Structure 1
Amino acid sequence: MSEQSPVSELSHVDPGNVAPGNGYTHVVTGTGRFAAISGQIALDENGAIVGEGDPEGQARQVFENLRRCLAAVGTGFEHVAKLTFYVTDLGVLPAVRVVRDEYVDPAKPPASTAVQVTALVRPELLMEIEALALIPE
């Protein structure tokens, strides 16, 4: 993880009047340069599917792809303000959460949304995950 600059420090806010988040924060604020990372899927650098039929294997590839995209703009998961999960079956979320917690600080998780969809771009894919980040200036 890169050292966090006070200019881009994220604030995790508990509004106090909504149900507690389980593995996510309701409100994250901060300043810095905005980066939108397109939804990443379980494809390796050659475009081959990784982890077909294996939710944890696909999640590992997706989070590694997200890590590489964040690194390309000079940041890491410590500056991710929001993750959006698109899954073809909500049953894969426990495996996704295990992997997510290896990449994000579970004490300060980003805001998150999870949506079940009927299909993704390829039938073998179980998930697509996108990220929004605020990068130190």
Structure 2
Amino acid sequence: MTTRLTHLAAPAGVAPGTGYSHVVSGSGRLVAVSGQIAVDEHGELVGPGDPAAQARQVFENLRRCLAAAGATFADVVKLTFYVTDTAYLPAVRIARDEVIDTERPPASMAMQVAALIRPELLVEVDALAVVG
């Protein structure tokens, strides 16, 4: 179930971002999805040493979590990316762009972290969605 969201790519006085909206608003039920990592349904690591494979698995896990709450990527208002090396961000953005509407992207934030919960993990992403 998709809600009507308002995306502001560049509010007055704020330079536009690339690949994200500065502000996304809407009304409805809030869905918070915990940080997803690159493990399959059995808890096995997907893509050891491969940020692109890990990012694809992370977004598949996000899709499944959103679906469980009656949401889709069209309902996502904010994504937060955690990477152990900023060199992995292009791979994360490619995986993201395969699932979001790139004309109306969600707000987002990215940060490099010293480590994730398991040393072999390279990427983690959490999401906020609003379902009408």
TM-score range (shorter-chain normalised) is over 0.9
User: Partner of 1:85 in structure 2?
Assistant: 81
Using the alignment, how far apart are the partners of 1:127 and 1:59 within structure 2? 6
Per the alignment, residue 64 of structure 1 pairs with 60
TM-score (norm 1): 0.93
Aligned to 1:130, which of 121, 126, 129? 126
Say what the alpha-carbon RMSD is for the aligned residues: 0.8
1:119 aligned residue: 115
2:7 aligns with 12
1:75 shift after superposition: 1.2
Q: How many residues align?
A: 131
Residue identity (%):
63
The aligned runs of 1:42-57 (5 Å cut-off) are 42-57=38-53
Aligned partners of 1:119 and 1:98: how far apart in 2? Answer: 22
SS, match of residue 103 in structure 1: coil
- Where do 4+ consecutive residues of structure 1 move more than 2 Å? none
Partner residue in 2 for 1:99: 95
The CA deviation at 1:16 is: 2.7
Distance 2:48 2:6 in 1: 37
1:28 matched to 2:24: yes
Give me the TM-score of the superposition, normalised by structure 2.
0.97
Task: Could you tell me which runs of 5 or more consecutive residues in structure 1 were left unpaired when the two chains were aligned.
Answer: none
Q: What amino acid is aligned across from residue 100 of structure 1 in structure 2?
A: R
Distance, in Å, in 1 between the alignment partners of 2:126 and 2:13 is: 28
Cα distance in 2 between the residues matched to 1:60 and 1:124: 16
